[in-house]
Amino acid sequence: MKALVCGGAGYIGSHMARLLAAHGHEVVVLDDLSTGHAQAVQWGRLVEADVLNLPSLEAAFAGQRFDAVFHFCARSLVAESIARPYDYYASNVVGTLNLLEAMRRHGVRRLVFSSSASVYGQPASGMVGEDHPTQPTHPYGASKLMAERILADAAVAYGLDSVALRYFNAAGATADACIGESHACETHLIPNVLRAVLGSGPALEIFGGDYSTPDGTCIRDYVHVEDLAQAHLQALDYLRAHPGAHAFNLGNGRGFSVRQVIAAASVVTGRTVPWDMAPRRAGDPPMLVASSQRARAELGWSPAWTGLEAIIESAWRWHRAQPW
């Protein structure tokens, strides 16, 4: 199979490219390197292109025949999406439309799409299944939900087969510390905890300690990046027998509070995590935990990384190896 990995120089996309290559597939990475890293493209050929730049996107498809596309290109910072919604609708909605049009012109009919648990908004219950109402509370989540709606319409109009995978909190790094999570503007909890421990970042900020949770801090479901990549591979297999547009949650099914993550990181690193309390962030639900029963039943997917400390330890190995 020849696969185009859009956003393959980023965190999850680079893990996807690695897994595809390990299974013997030919990989082409499409990335504009605005947030991704050229050094992360170690599996497959890099084509510098932007989904908002139609000539560069067309050039990436020209003269090639792809069997499938994995779509990771997106802006993904919640606070930034609230401040700059036009940028998010352009990148995440218009950019997706441009990619789908290029796929249609070049006869590519299978897509695995990187979606988000943020499509659900404020959960009405502790465990969130795919039948939970989708009511995003910020432009980032709204842009992902709109892209999913486009995929559903494209299935009917153009015969595009797709799977949207709604991640909860991606975390961790490859077991051999080859690639990991590196963002110029880091907003994810676990890397910020580890940067605070290493002194390569400021003291951790806990955004709100007065939520309606046992210890007052937000609870999230952490799923290892290698498990996410594996789910994408299984989603593509699923499409061979199940045409149409589909959506699945990806999570461990267990929630951990910010304070629990800090405690686990202290155990893994053997160090104290410096932190300060900060005001709540707009759009943060108190609790977001996945029910991934549909992915288990239909995709045959189950996470191999289930322990919080093991997930943090994989990230810790990668962070310690960096020349911060």
What is the C-alpha separation between 79 and 224, in angstroms, rounded?
24
What is the C-alpha separation between 318 and 178, in angstroms, rounded?
7
What is the C-alpha separation between 231 and 227, in angstroms, rounded?
6
Domain ranges for the chain: 2-171+223-250, 189-220+253-320
Give percent of the chain with pLDDT exceeding 90.
82
User: How many CA atoms, within 13 angstroms, populate the side-chain half-sphere of residue 6?
Assistant: 30
- Residue 89 annotated as catalytic: no
Q: Is 10 left (phi over 0), alpha (psi -120 to 50) or beta?
A: beta
CA 149 distance to own-chain centroid: 18
Q: Which helix (H) or strand (E) holds 277?
A: strand 275-278
Classify 197 as helix, strand or coil: helix
Torsion sign across C-alpha atoms 204, 205, 210, 212:
negative
pLDDT-based confidence at residue 150 (cuts at 50, 70, 90): very high
Long-range own/partner contacts, residues 122-129 (CB < 8 A, 24 or more apart): 122/285, 123/285, 123/287, 123/288, 126/255, 126/287, 126/289, 127/253, 127/289, 127/290, 127/291, 128/249, 128/288, 128/289, 128/290, 128/291, 129/249, 129/291, 129/293, 129/294
Q: What is the pLDDT of residue 142?
A: 97
**109-128 pLDDT tens trace:** 999 999 999 999 988 777 89
Q: What is the pLDDT of residue 71?
A: 98
Q: Is the pLDDT of residue 180 over 90?
A: no
Mean pLDDT of 24-31: 97
Torsion sign across C-alpha atoms 24, 30, 35, 41:
positive
Q: What is the pLDDT of residue 296?
A: 95
What tokens were used for 123?
């959960």
Superfamily of chain region 2-171+223-250: NAD(P)-binding Rossmann-like Domain (3.40.50.720)
Which residues have a Cβ under 8 Å from the Cβ of 131 and sit 6 or more positions away?
Answer: none
Pick the catalytic residue from 11, 89, 120, 140: 140
Q: Is the pLDDT of residue 322 over 70?
A: yes
Which residues have a Cβ under 8 Å from the Cβ of 126 and sit 6 or more positions away?
Answer: 255, 287, 289
CATH of domain 189-220+253-320: 3.90.25.10
List the beta strands (DSSP E) in 149-259: 161-167, 169-171, 204-207, 219-220, 222-224, 245-250, 256-257
pLDDT-based confidence at residue 324 (cuts at 50, 70, 90): low
